[in-house]
Structure 1
Amino acid sequence: MDNIYAIIPVTTFKNAKTRLSPFLSEKEREKLLKVMLQDVTDTLKKYVDKIFVISRDEDVLSYAESLNVNTILENENSNLNKALTQAMKLCKGKTKRIIIVPSDIPLIGKTNVQMLIDASKNLDFIIVPSKGGGTNMIIMKPMAIRTRFEGFSYEEHLKVAEKKNLNPQVHDSFFMALDVNTAEDLGEIMIHGKKTHTRQYLKELKVNVESHRGIERLKVTRDD
């Protein structure tokens, strides 16, 4: 039996990250999603036995295959949590643990992922919160819980893990908490994302970041 598999759910590349639409075109957002997924898979390949990308979008699955990771075609009439259940059922009996992460956390490589995986050998449930009350990583046995992503999922995951006596352990990480949704998030990637594909792409788009004293901490702009 393998030690640990990674599961990355991806909905679609097209017309995603609409909160970035005033700053990036649809094609630019699509490419951004691809380079972020590349950063996530590049990091996880160093630590896990297999990576599975699950999606109902053939473009996503084709791109994932180009990254040399395994793919799962999501069942029809599914949703994020049903897709994760589908993937976990496939992994059950083949690996001791699974690590669930989203595809839009390009700074994952700045976090000590090996430390978390090592800790999971003696812990039943490790969770990393995201900004805004979400969840950006869970490490557990396949099907230890049914996930409750969407909304304030961090508290929901803690509650269900505690109910199952899994003694959930929280790892608070700035880098892993940063899922990219706003222009200010792009500024954080420009500051902290050295050697990532995402930062390189943002540089190609001529994205700039400055410290700012206004409502937002960072002023993020693009050269004409």
Structure 2
Amino acid sequence: MRAVIPYKKENAKSRLAPVLSKEEREDFVELMLRDVVDSLLCAGITKIDILTTSSEGVPDDLDVNVVVTEPGLNVSINAYLQTVDEPTMIIMADLPLVKSSHIKRIISFPEDVVIVPGKGGGTNILFLSQPKEFTVRYHDCSFLSHCDITKDLGKSIHVFDSLLASTDIDEPHDIVELLIYGEGLSKQYAEKRFCTETGKGRVKISANSKLSGFI
């Protein structure tokens, strides 16, 4: 089996712009990618493809295969799926809380399709036993779209419910989850810039002393 990670580094994660500069965001997404790759390798998945529009943004020292593609998440992934003949995991690059134990469980289920939902109806991970038969439909409420596609194909489905696997780092408040539950390089990066603030409500992040302002 193999895994594919859609990846964009240039001007990535614009919704984190209130708390991180363009250069910081680009460094951050690279570290999140490294964490995801590490979890895959630790889970025994060694065939890893990075799907990107520019190979320049992928670190040279990563033990991965770089697949340069045209822009467009759905178009690029669907074209990629037509080239593989083995079970394939599509996993997003902004999931630094995913551990190897999650990966092992996801690939252990007997169903044809395993879906890990993301926040707001998104899809963080798709594991496809027969990738050539599947057409992805990301954006909007992609979780429901992928459930419908699976049912239309007459395939069995398993929804993997996990707080950590369902947490993608998109918004400033997502960094709270990384600081609390994270373990890898991206957590170390976040710890240099933020700390948690507790009170009567939810935990928030505040800038470290070298930075100013409250988030």
Q: Same fold (TM over 0.5)?
A: yes
The one-letter amino acid of 2:159's match is V
1:59 to 48, 56, 59: 56
Written as runs of structure 1 = structure 2, the 5 A alignment for 1:50-89 is: 50-61=47-58, 63=59, 65-75=60-70, 78-89=71-82
Task: State the 1:110 CA deviation.
Answer: 6.6
Is residue 91 from structure 1 mapped to residue 113 from structure 2 by the alignment? no
1:60, 1:165 → 2: CA distance? 39
Structure 1 counterpart of 2:9, one-letter code: F
- Displacement of 1:111 in angstroms is 4.8
Q: Which of residues 102, 105, 116 in structure 2 aligns to 1:128?
A: 116
- Measure the CA separation in 1 of the matches of 2:78 and 2:113: 16
Across the aligned residues of Structure 1 and Structure 2, the Cα RMSD in angstroms comes to 1.5
Aligned match of 2:147? 158
Q: Write the distance in 2 (CA, Å) between the matches of 1:17 and 1:188.
A: 16
User: Which ranges in structure 2 are unaligned for 5 or more consecutive residues?
Assistant: 211-215
C-alpha contact 1:39 1:106 (8 A) present in aligned 2: yes
Percent sequence identity over aligned pairs: 29
Residue 149 (structure 1) aligned with residue 134 (structure 2): no
In structure 1, how many angstroms separate the alpha carbons of the residues matched to 2:64 and 2:141?
A: 29
Q: Which amino acid aligns with 2:175?
A: L
CA contact (8 A) 1:111 1:175 kept: no
CA–CA distance in structure 2, aligned partners of residues 57 and 150 of structure 1: 22
Q: Is the 8 A contact 1:111 1:173 kept in 2?
A: no
Question: Pick from 36, 39, 42: which aligns with 1:43?
Answer: 39
1:116 aligned to 2:136?
no
Does the CA-based 8 Å contact 2:39-2:100 persist in structure 1? no
Give the total of aligned pairs.
Answer: 207
- Which position in structure 2 is the counterpart of 1:182? 171
From 23, 26, 29, the counterpart of 2:25: 29
- 8 Å Cα contact 2:116-2:159 kept in structure 1: yes
Give TM-score, length-normalised by structure 2.
Answer: 0.91
Q: CA separation of 1:162/1:210 partners in 2, compared to 1, >3 Å: closer, same or farther?
A: same
Task: Give secondary structure in 2 for the equivalent of 1:199.
Answer: helix
Letter in 1 for 2:112: D
Gaps of 5+ in 1: none
For 1:51 and 1:109, the matched residues in 2 are separated by: 16
Please say if residues 97 and 165 of structure 2, whose CA atoms lie closer than 8 Å, have aligned partners that are also in contact.
yes
Contact 1:8 1:101 survives alignment (8 Å): yes
